[in-house]
Amino acid sequence: MRITKLMMVLSIFALAIMVAGCKKEKFNSRDTSSLKPPPPPPVDPEEPEEPTDPTLKLWTGVDVADGWSTVGEPKIDADKKEGTGSLRNTIADGSDFMQFIFKPGTDFNTGLTATNGQFTFWWYLSDPTLLKEDGQIEINSSGDFDQKEYGWSIAALKPSLKPGWNEIKLNFNTADKAGGDFDPAAVKQFRVFFWTETTSHEPLVTGVDGLMFRQAPPTPSVLFSSVDLPDGWETVGAPVIDAADKKEGTGSLKNTIADGSDFMQFIYKNVETPVNATFTKANGMFTFWWFLSDPSLLKEDGQIEINSDGNFDHNELHWNVADLKPSLKPGWNELKLKFSDAVVEGGDIDLTAVKQFRVFFWTETTSHEPLVSGVDGLKFAEVQ
């Protein structure tokens, strides 16, 4: 009996050990399917390349001395702005003159015109303050100095020059002309010549590189009046700003020639703070928006005027309404009036100090539908 009980106890103990041995071990999960990888480090965006100018034409990269002359023997230097070299020279102490001349022997067609062209090159100056305000940059289509030539003065450029390389940009329409008409389709020669103020100075290292031609970008226009306020304006009756119908800004000036009347004018006078048009008679124009509900009602009289005197018919440029009438349409008309096409009245206008604008006009008769008229956005701009 005791043996039987002992056997039962041993059996139960053995069974307990077996059950314990069959228990599943627990391990930390190695499943990483729910984990997200860290984000990649940020990559700096590449700067966009400057768009290629389809009008740009390289005349010479100044990589070889062929076609070049200077004071002494022309030497190509490794310090450059484009290509493989530049032309260098030095005005030594005791001297005061330098020039660089390029005459390749073959004509170069710029593909540009007298009104839209630009000549560019790189000019190196170790110390521009040493320059005398004489000398000139020239291109010609004759092969001879001062014949069929465009020139730009050093004096005008000197204030903007800095030590080192300077990118010079010269518009054809701002050039001084010499010896007949320059032909942009047959450029033969380049020259830059200049002096130092004295012969006693630190050596002035100078050089040229990358002679090119391109179409000149438009010069920003100059605002004469936005016509957003009645200040400075006169018309028939009190000037009233129309905030709803305008071509720019926040308003325009409107008025009406009613049935029974035949005259209208708009005058803007800015005597205290005259405006510098910045353009010349050769390259500038006056632009503004002119509203006419029915241009066919206009009489072929009247004028558009600007002056630098502050009084009508003095130091004035004007354009006749008769010349404009055939091109006018109902609604807003953008007028682009070249200075070179204007009639000069009472002496030359000072385009650096324009003081007054006037447009005046009539209807053919006093019996007509109301003629609504207005002006907006008076500006000076470059002729394109």
Query: Residue 16 phi/psi, 5° resolution?
Result: -65, -40
Instruction: Give Cβ neighbours of residue 195 (< 8 Å, ≥ 6 apart).
Output: 96, 97, 98, 131, 132, 134, 135
Q: Could you tell me if 172 and 150 are in contact, meaning their C-beta atoms sit under 8 angstroms apart?
A: yes
| 57-215 and 222-382 share one fold | yes
**Torsion sign over Cα 70, 72, 78, 83:** positive
Q: Delimit the domains of the chain by residue range.
A: 57-215, 222-382
The four Cα atoms 362, 363, 369, 370 give a dihedral, to 10 degrees, of -10
Q: How far is CA 301 from CA 283, 304, 342, 380, 382, in A?
A: 27, 10, 16, 24, 28
Q: What is the pLDDT of residues 200-259, one digit of tens each?
A: 999 999 999 999 999 999 889 999 999 999 999 999 999 999 999 999 999 999 999 999
- pLDDT at residue 271, as a whole number: 85
Q: Which of 163, 162, 211 is nearest to 187 (CA)?
A: 211
Helix intervals (H) in the chain? 2-21, 154-157, 321-324
50 Ramachandran zone, left/alpha/beta (phi>0; psi -120 to 50): beta
**Residues 336-353: pLDDT tens digits?**
999 999 999 999 999 999
pLDDT of residue 1: 47
3-state secondary structure of 118: strand
Q: 219 or 164: which carries more pLDDT confidence?
A: 164
- pLDDT tens, position by position, 12-69: 555 555 545 545 455 454 555 555 666 666 655 555 555 689 999 999 999 999 999 9
Q: What is the model's pLDDT at position 52? A: 80
Q: Per CATH, which fold does 57-215 belong to?
A: Jelly Rolls (2.60.120)
Break the chain down into helix, strand, coil percent, rounded to 5.
10, 40, 50
129, 147 contact by CB (below 8 A):
no
Mean pLDDT value across the chain: 91
Tens of pLDDT, residue by residue over 291-334, are: 999 999 999 999 999 999 999 999 999 999 999 999 999 999 99
- The 10 Å Cβ neighbour count of residue 47 is 6
Residues 6+ apart with CB under 8 A from 250: 226, 228, 243
- Give ∠ CA 224-229-233 in degrees, rounded to 5: 65
Token duo for residue 164 = 């080192």
Q: Give the global pTM.
A: 0.62
pLDDT score, position 47: 55
Beta bridge partners of 99: 193
Fold of 222-382: Jelly Rolls (2.60.120)
pLDDT in tens, 254-290: 999 999 999 999 999 988 899 999 999 988 999 999 9
